[in-house]
C-alpha cells in the first residue's frame, strides 16, 4: 500500500518537472523550495552565532547532533536542515529522502521527521523511485519532453512520402516493367533501344525491365530507361 503511493508520488513529481530522474542537488533544492521550505545548512559544531541561536530556539540541538538532515515544520515555519559537511552524493540522497517526507500525504504538520518507521519507509521508497523510476517511465518522460519533435518528424515523413507518391506514382512503374530494354554482353546496365551507348553494339540481350532489374542490372544514367 505504502509502496504504491510512494511510487505514484515520485512519478508525479518527475512528470511535473519533466525530469527523467532526480539525481541533482540543485533540482532537488529547487523542488523543495517550491514547497515553501527554507534550506538551512549546519555543522555538527562551530556554527555561526545566529544559526546556533536558531537551533537553540527551535530546540533541535539533538537533531543537529544525531542526524545529517531533518525537517522542522511548526508555527508556519518550514525548514529543511542539512549537514553542510556531507559529500555531494550523500547530500542528494538526504534531500531525496526529505522530499519524500514533504510529499508524504500522511506526514502531518508540526512534527520533526525521523519519527515513525512507516513514514521512514515511505520516504525511502519515494527516494528510490525518484532516483530510478524505471525504463518505461523514462520513456513516458521522453514522450512528454519530445512530443513536438516527434510530431514534426512524423509530419515530415508524411510530407516526403506524399511528395514521392506525386512525383512517381506506383502505377507507372508497373506499366513500364514490361517494356523492352537491352543489355550489352558484360555490361551492368540496361538501356533503351535508342541509347547512344548501345546503338552501335552487337551482342545485345533483350529483357523486359522487370527481368533486367531481377537479374541485377541497373538503369543506364544516359538514357534513363524507366522514365
Q: Which region, judged by CB under 5 A, interacts with Zn ion, from 42-50, 81-89, 134-142, 184-192?
A: 184-192
Tell whether residue 93 is a contact of Zn ion (CB under 5 A): no
Contact 225, 219 (CB under 8 A): yes
- The runs of H, that is alpha helices, within 168-204 are 170-176
Binding residues with Zn ion: total (CB under 5 A)? 10
Q: Which region, judged by CB under 5 A, interacts with Zn ion, from 45-53, 139-147, 183-191, 203-211?
A: 183-191
Options 113, 122, 129, 207; binder of Zn ion; rule CB under 5 A = 113
Write the DSSP symbol of residue 36. T
Options 13, 22, 183, 195; binder of Zn ion; rule CB under 5 A = 195
Output the smallest distance, CB 49 to Zn ion, in A.
29
**Beta 38-42 vs 77-83: how paired, if at all?**
parallel
CA distance 64 to 48: 14
Instruction: Characterize 24-45 residue by residue with b for buried, 16 or more Cβ atoms within 10 angstroms of its Cβ, and e for exposed.
Output: ebeebbebbeeeebeebebeee
- Residue 19 or 223: the one with the smaller Cβ distance to Zn ion is 223
CA distance 147 to 168: 31
Tell whether residue 68 is a contact of Zn ion (CB under 5 A): no
Give, as ranges, the residues between 7 and 66 that touch Zn ion (CB under 5 A): none
Binding mask 143-172 for Zn ion (x = CB under 5 A): ------------------------------
Tell whether residue 222 is a contact of Zn ion (CB under 5 A): yes
Contact 23, 92 (CB under 8 A): yes
Chain residues that interact with Zn ion, rule: CB under 5 A: 113-114, 120, 123, 191, 195, 197, 220, 222-223
Amino acid at each position: 500500500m505504502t509502496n504504491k503511493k510512494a511510487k505514484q508520488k515520485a512519478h508525479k513529481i518527475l512528470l511535473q518537472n519533466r525530469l527523467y530522474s532526480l539525481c541533482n542537488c540543485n533540482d532537488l533544492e529547487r523542488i523543495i523550495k517550491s514547497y515553501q521550505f527554507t534550506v538551512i545548512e549546519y555543522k555538527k559544531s562551530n556554527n555561526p552565532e545566529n544559526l546556533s541561536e536558531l537551533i537553540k530556539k527551535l530546540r533541535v540541538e539533538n537533531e543537529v547532533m544525531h542526524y545529517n538532515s531533518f525537517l522542522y515544520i511548526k508555527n508556519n515555519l518550514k525548514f529543511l536542515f542539512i549537514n553542510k559537511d556531507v559529500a555531494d552524493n550523500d547530500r542528494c540522497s538526504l534531500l531525496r529522502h526529505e522530499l519524500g517526507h514533504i510529499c508524504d500525504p500522511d506526514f502531518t504538520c508540526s512534527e520533526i521527521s525521523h519519527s515513525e518507521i512507516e513514514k521512514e519507509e515511505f520516504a525511502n521508497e519515494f527516494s528510490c523511485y525518484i532516483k530510478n523510476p524505471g525504463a518505461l517511465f523514462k520513456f513516458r518522460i521522453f514522450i512528454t519532453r519530445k512530443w513536438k519533435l516527434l510530431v514534426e518528424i512524423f509530419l515530415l515523413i508524411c510530407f516526403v512520402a506524399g511528395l514521392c507518391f506525386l512525383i512517381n506514382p506506383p502505377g507507372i512503374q508497373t506499366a513500364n516493367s514490361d517494356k523492352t530494354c537491352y543489355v550489352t554482353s558484360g555490361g551492368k546496365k540496361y538501356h533503351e533501344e535508342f541509347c547512344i551507348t548501345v546503338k552501335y553494339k552487337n551482342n545485345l540481350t533483350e529483357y523486359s525491365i522487370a527481368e533486367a532489374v531481377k537479374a541485377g542490372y541497373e538503369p543506364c544514367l544516359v538514357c534513363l530507361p524507366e522514365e
